[in-house]
Structure 1
Amino acid sequence: METTYREDHKAALDRILGVIPGVKISKAFGYPAYKIGGRIFCWVGQNGVTIKLPRERVDELVGSNGMHPFGPTATTVWREWLAIDREQSDDYRHDLELFEESISFVSGAF
């Protein structure tokens, strides 16, 4: 199966997340991924990005501006993963607090 993602989103995330201490730019399942302490907290795939947050937080954010639950299939939802779709790649800079929240959650500091 071919992995698809927007190169412009990857470039924007590299600029936004690549400067945060401890963040490593990597790959996971063929997609660009961002890790902290060796654990994935974000990846770029399809038309947006996906971040890991506590289930309750995902539930709070679903339905907000371009945010929806992530699921690898139409019938499967990963409860701790939130998809964020932005048309303009640079708009992800407005989600920096969510990325930082994801880093804290994944690293156990949440």
Structure 2
Amino acid sequence: MTEEERFEDLVDEFQHVTGVTPPGASRGFGSHALRVHNRIFAMFVRGRLVVKLPKPRVDTLVADGHGVRFDANKGTPMKEWFAVAPESPLEWAELASEAMAFVENAKPRTPTRRKR
């Protein structure tokens, strides 16, 4: 099974969960992402599953060799985003469930004003 097929299976598993929006429901960043209440918790980027988790959990997963911090091609790895290594034995559905719970329980973001 390819990584793309694994992600498709993950989407099939989560798309019927209340509050979850499957990929393709939006454009641009996150168009290949699973969202819960409009917040991304798992996405497929450059052939890897990427999940949003608490920083200490990401620290542990990276230290244990299961993957790396996700870098959105800006040169700075993101502290709460984890990209799973293809050879990692971690279950994607378990990581996605953990990420969904983390995102659901996170404080709502406060909109910021852009300087003009």
Normalising by the smaller structure, the TM-score range is 0.7 to 0.9
Change (3 A) 1:93 1:61: closer
Change (3 A) 1:20 1:63: farther
Which stretches in structure 1 are left out of the alignment for 5+ residues? 1-5
2:49: which partner in 1?
49
Residue 63 of structure 1 and its aligned partner are, at CA, apart by 4.2
Per-residue CA shift, 1:39-72, capped at 9, x if unaligned?
A: 1111111111110011111001114464211112
Q: Please identify which structure carries the higher strand content.
A: 1
Q: Which residue identity lines up with residue 81 of structure 1 in the other structure?
A: W
Rounded Cα–Cα distance in structure 1 between residues aligned with 2:46 and 2:83? 10
Paired residues, number: 102
Per-residue CA shift, 1:66-88, capped at 9, x if unaligned?
A: 4211112373111000001336x
The TM-score with structure 1 as length reference comes to 0.73
Which stretches in structure 2 are left out of the alignment for 5+ residues? 107-116
Secondary structure in 1 matching 2:78: strand
The TM-score with structure 2 as length reference comes to 0.70
Contact 1:58 1:80 in 2 (8 A): yes
Rounded Cα–Cα distance in structure 1 between residues aligned with 2:98 and 2:57? 10
Rounded Cα–Cα distance in structure 1 between residues aligned with 2:64 and 2:98? 16
Secondary structure in 1 matching 2:58: helix
Change (3 A) 1:107 1:53: same
Residue 99 of structure 1, aligned match among 89, 96, 99: 96
Q: Rg: which structure is higher?
A: 2
Q: Report the RMSD for the aligned CA atoms in angstroms.
A: 2.8
Contact 2:67 2:82 in 1 (8 A): yes
Residue 13 of structure 1 and its aligned partner are, at CA, apart by 2.2
Change (3 A) 1:65 1:95: farther
